[in-house]
Structure 1
Amino acid sequence: MRQLILDLLPETPPSFDNFVAGGNAEALTGLATWLAPSSREPLFYLWGEAGAGKTHLLRACQASYHDAQSDPDLAAMVSDAAASDFHAVDHVETLSDSGQIVLFHLINRLCGSGGRLLVAANLPPLQLTLREDLRTRLGSGLLYRLQALSDADKLAALGEQAQARGLVLPREALHYLFSRAPRDMRSLAALLAAIDRYSLEQQRPITLPLLREVLQTSLDL
């Protein structure tokens, strides 16, 4: 069901403006300070559970992005490492042995050249099952934890997104959707877009019967 929902979502580039912060104001402030030209800290490390928004922020920073989950050897990084002095590596916990060596050498190079590295993982550095010298390097930078959004935060964000679209969603409609869809914000935003489109096509207001139709026809529930 989640993939069906995601297929409905227009490709909107991740940015700081469309990131739902929730209780992560401190981490966002720290990241913004680190990104400032005056910052001299080479490494910024984000950690937290899946769905907390780590990938969103890594992509929003406009760095050369690499996903260790799909490229555990960081083979793509080897080919373009010298072309950029700002890299982001996601899902560091999934690095292979060779990928760990690549990242270790990249950190050393960036530290020496004044470059920057933004990394993300599901655990803090010392709890990762990586080689010791890499864990030490990763732990030497700025560390921030991203907290997953609470249900109240997600409901509030969903309501704000509906308002931005000009949609009138009764509170019971929000709770109805929230109880029947995946609860990550990307899926919820995709569902909201589908509802908006369906309502316009049908020229009908958003009611519980219309929501049921969207869930049944668009998401094959």
Structure 2
Amino acid sequence: MTQQLLLDILPGALPTLETFVAGVNHAAVDAVRTLTPGHALYLWGGQGSGRSHLLRARAQDPDGHYLDARTPAHWLQSLATDEDRVLTLVAVDDVGELSDAAQAALFALFNRWRAAASTPDAFALLTAGDRAPLTMPLREDLRTRLGWDLVYRIEQLSDDDRAQALHDRALQRGLKLPDDVLHWILTHYDRDMGRLTTLIDTLDQYSLAQHRPVTLPLLKALLTRQHPDPASHHADAGRTSP
């Protein structure tokens, strides 16, 4: 069965630091939480590690901005060059996938961040990618800038951590999650905790709407309601406007 993102049934809540399942990543989460203007932080980790969740959570700050490789390069360029624009935090995700124009804009943004770091116009710069800074497929001067300040690796959660997180999420909602349903989700569905959490929330709502307890057939019925095109699979939609 094709896995499906269920946001068209029940939009997931905006990501927050409180809903991030840290596992062994407490130091990295604390670094994101305490990131202040004048400082920069680069997070790296594989697909599903939760780095996008963390960036989107912090980008909800007043005057915060979230951008990724799908954001038009000129939006990023405007943040780098419009000195009349007040910035508190800029989060740039998936830096390894940025176009040449977007890389040039991010380079300029780093320069603006450094020049403003000790002034009243200081802002925080939070970036993320899938590998360590110096191994990123980027222009050399941008690779070095990714490591100018703090760098943290986001480790994948273990299966036990993910199982406990889903169990806890179900308990928070008053949902009885049978062992066979939990096992199926962990072995057949996405490893990304944001999507897994959305699945639990949606399954709860679907169970209530159908007046049926949560069972494996109910879960599969929910999944088959979704559009079968795998190309519709994307990470959570985040704020991408400048």
Q: TM-score, normalised by structure 2?
A: 0.78
Q: Paired residue for 1:84? A: 86
Deviates more, 1:168-177 or 1:157-166: 168-177
Report SS of the residue matched to 1:193: helix
Q: Distance in 2 between matches of 1:215 and 1:90?
A: 29
Cross-structure match for 1:52:
49
**1:13-35 CA deviation, whole Å, 9 max, x = no partner?**
11101111111111112222333
SS state at 1:87 partner: strand
Residue 52 of structure 1: SS of its match in structure 2? coil
Q: 1:152 aligns with which of 129, 146, 160?
A: 160
Question: One-letter code of the match for 2:35?
Answer: W
CA gap of 1:172–1:93, structure 2 versus 1, over 3 A, is same
CA contact (8 A) 2:48 2:191 kept: no
Structure-1 separation of matches of 2:126 and 2:227: 36
* SS at 1:5 equivalent: coil
Secondary structure at the counterpart of residue 30 of structure 1: helix
Q: Is the 8 A contact 2:50 2:193 kept in 1?
A: no
Taking only aligned residues, the RMSD between alpha carbons, in angstroms, comes to 2.3
Structure 1: gaps (5+ residues): none
Q: Which has the higher helix share?
A: 1
- Which secondary structure does the structure 2 equivalent of 1:144 belong to? strand
Q: Match of 1:7, as an amino acid?
A: D
Kindly tell me: are residues 217 and 138 of structure 1, through their superposed partners in 2, closer, same or farther at Cα, counting changes over 3 Å? closer
Percent identical among aligned pairs is 43
2:115 counterpart residue number: 112
Structure 1: which 4+ aligned runs deviate by more than 6 Å?
none
2:29 matches 1:28: yes
Tell me the distance in 1 between the aligned counterparts of 2:95 and 2:224.
38
- 1:12 CA drift (Å): 1.1
Q: 1:128 to 1:207 in 2, by over 3 A?
A: closer
Map of 2:70 onto structure 1: 70
Relative distance call for 1:179 and 1:137 in structure 2 (3 A) is closer
Larger relative contact order (C-alpha < 8 A, sep ≥ 6)? 2
* Offset, 1:5: 2.9
Amino acid at match of 2:173: R
Q: Does the C-alpha gap of structure 1 residues 110 and 174 become closer, same or farther in structure 2, counting only changes over 3 Å?
A: same
Shift of 1:215: 4.2
Q: Under a length normalisation based on structure 1, what TM-score does the superposition of the two structures give?
A: 0.85
Which of 174, 187, 195 pairs up with 1:187? 195
Q: Give the drift of 1:55.
A: 0.9
* Partner Cα distance (2:108, 2:226) in 1: 47
- Aligned partners of 1:216 and 1:130: how far apart in 2? 40
Is the contact made by 1:66 and 1:74 (CA closer than 8 Å) also made in structure 2? no
Determine helix, strand or coil for the equivalent of 2:23. coil
